[in-house]
Structure formats: C-alpha cells, structure tokens
C-alpha cells in the first residue's frame, strides 16, 4: 500500500454539509477502522473551507474510487479534490 494525501475544498451550502456530516463521519470512521484512513481533519482556512485526509491505497485511482463513496462527494459538497501520493520521510503514521 502507498500513502496518499487527499485534499478537499468544500463547495455548496454549509447547511447541507451539516445535514450530511453524520454520514460523512460514519464513512470516514469505517475507513479508519479498516486501516485505510490514517488521519483526517478540517483545514483551518477561512477563505476556502476543506479537509486533509491521509489514505492508504494501491494507486491514486484506487483512492479516488474509495473516496467517491464519501457522502460529501455523492451529495456534490466537494468543489475540488486532489489526490497525491505522499512519501513519508520523517515521522510516521504506519
């Protein structure tokens, strides 16, 4: 497995995110329990809200397919998403 940094920039109505947040968090909790999601959390940007997720996967395409199941993605609440392989040099999350 490789490690990927997934960055979300949220779009849409913030109240819609609030409505779907419980399902989003349940989805992420399952990924964490399965060992695929290592860490995640919101980014502290006032200009464009989003999140950083560190995901284990075979490829960027594998991670994209996995993250397509996120309720935020399915409900159109993610304006943009980047998926980049991340090589850990110091520290670790394994």
Residue-range domains of the chain with CATH: 2-85 (3.30.70.1060)
pLDDT, residue 37, reads 97
Q: Using 50, 70 and 90 to split pLDDT, how confident is the model at 45?
A: confident
Q: Is the pLDDT of residue 93 over 80?
A: no
pLDDT, residue 48, reads 80
Q: Per-residue DSSP letters for 22-42?
A: HHHHHHHHHHHHTTSEEEEEE
Report the Cα 81 to chain-centroid distance in Å.
8
Give Cβ neighbours of residue 35 (< 8 Å, ≥ 6 apart).
56
């Amino acid at each position: 497995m490789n490690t990927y940094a997934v960055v979300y920039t949220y779009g849409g109505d913030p109240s819609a995110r609030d409505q779907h947040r419980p399902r989003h968090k349940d989805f992420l909790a399952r990924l964490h329990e399965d060992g695929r999601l290592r860490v995640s959390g919101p980014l502290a940007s006032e200009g464009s809200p989003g999140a950083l997720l560190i995901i284990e996967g075979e490829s960027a395409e594998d991670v994209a397919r996995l993250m397509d199941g996120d309720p935020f993605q399915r409900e159109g609440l993610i304006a943009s998403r980047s998926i980049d392989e991340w090589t850990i040099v110091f520290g670790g999350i394994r």
